[in-house]
Amino acid sequence: MNILILSAGTRNKIVQYFKEEAGSQGRVVATDCSNLAPAVYQADAFYLVPRITAPGYLERILEICVREKIGGVFSLIDPELSLLAKERDKFTAIGTIPIISPYELVETCFDKFRMYRMLTEMGIPTGRCYLDKDAFYQDVEDGKISYPVFVKPVRGSASIHISKVSSQKEIEVLFGLYDDLMVQEYMDGQEYGADVYIDMLSGKCTSVFLKKKIKMRAGETDKSISVKIPALFGMIQRFVEKCGFRGMIDIDIFEVGGKFYLSEVNPRFGGGYPHAHACGVNMPRQVVNNLSGKVNTGAIGEYQENICMMKYNEMVVKDFHGEEIVE
- What average pLDDT does the segment 304-322 reach? 91
The per-residue pLDDT for 142 is 97
Instruction: Evaluate if pTM is beyond 0.85.
Output: yes
Residues in the chain: 327
Q: Which amino acid is at 19?
A: K
3-state SS class at 80 = helix
Per-residue pLDDT tens digits for 177-209: 989 999 999 999 999 999 999 999 999 999 999
pLDDT digits (tens, 9 = 90+) for 94-138: 999 999 999 999 999 999 999 999 999 999 999 999 999 999 999
pLDDT of residue 297: 96
Residue 162 has pLDDT above 90, yes or no: no
Short-list 211, 204, 208, 206, CA closest to 196:
208
pLDDT category, 160, cuts 50, 70, 90? low
pLDDT at 156 over 90: no
3-class DSSP string for 94-152: CCCEECCCCHHHHHHHHCHHHHHHHHHHCCCCCCCEECCHHHHHHHHHCCCCCCCEEEE
Q: Which residue has the higher pLDDT, 40 or 315?
A: 40
Assess contact for 68 and 29: CB atoms under 8 A: yes
Find residue 309's DSSP bridge partners. Answer: 224
Cis (ω within 30 of 0) for the bond into 55?
no
pLDDT tens digits, 6-16: 999 999 999 99
- If DSSP codes are grouped into helix, strand and coil, which group holds residue 248? strand
- Sheet with 247-256: strands ordered across: 259-266, 247-256, 190-198, 205-217, 220-227, 308-310
Dihedral pair phi/psi, residue 35, rounded to 5° = -90, 15
Query: Residue 159 — pLDDT band, cuts 50, 70, 90?
Result: low
Q: What is the pLDDT of residue 315?
A: 87
Residue-averaged pLDDT of the chain: 95
Q: What is the dihedral of CA 166, 172, 174, 179, to 10 degrees?
A: 140
Residue type, 315: M
pLDDT digits (tens, 9 = 90+) for 236-273: 999 999 999 999 999 999 999 999 999 999 999 999 99
What is the model's pLDDT at position 25? 86
Q: Are strands 70-75 and 97-98 parallel, antiparallel or unpaired?
A: parallel
* Whole-number pLDDT of residue 158: 54
